[in-house]
Amino acid sequence: MAKPKLVALYLSLALGGALCHTSVSAAPESASDAVTQSALSASKPASPLQPQQEQVSINDATAEQLTAVMNGVGLKKAQAIVSYREQYGPFSAIQQLSEVPGIGNALIERNAGRLKL
Contacts of 56 (CB under 8 A, 6+ apart): 65, 66, 68, 69, 70, 114, 115, 116
Lowest-pLDDT range of 5-19, 66-80, 101-115: 5-19
DSSP state of 87: H
Mean pLDDT of the chain: 76
**Longest Cα–Cα distance in the chain:** 84
pLDDT score at 35: 44
pLDDT score at 54: 87
pLDDT-based confidence at residue 14 (cuts at 50, 70, 90)? low
The per-residue pLDDT for range 63-75, each reduced to its tens digit, is: 999 999 999 999 9
List, in sequence order, the alpha helices (H) in the chain.
2-26, 31-42, 63-69, 75-88, 105-110
Q: Pick 15 or 47 by higher pLDDT.
A: 15
**Global confidence as pTM:** 0.55
- Degrees, nearest 5: CA angle 79-66-117: 105
* Cα→Cα distances 55→69, 79, 100, 108, 113, Å: 7, 18, 19, 13, 7
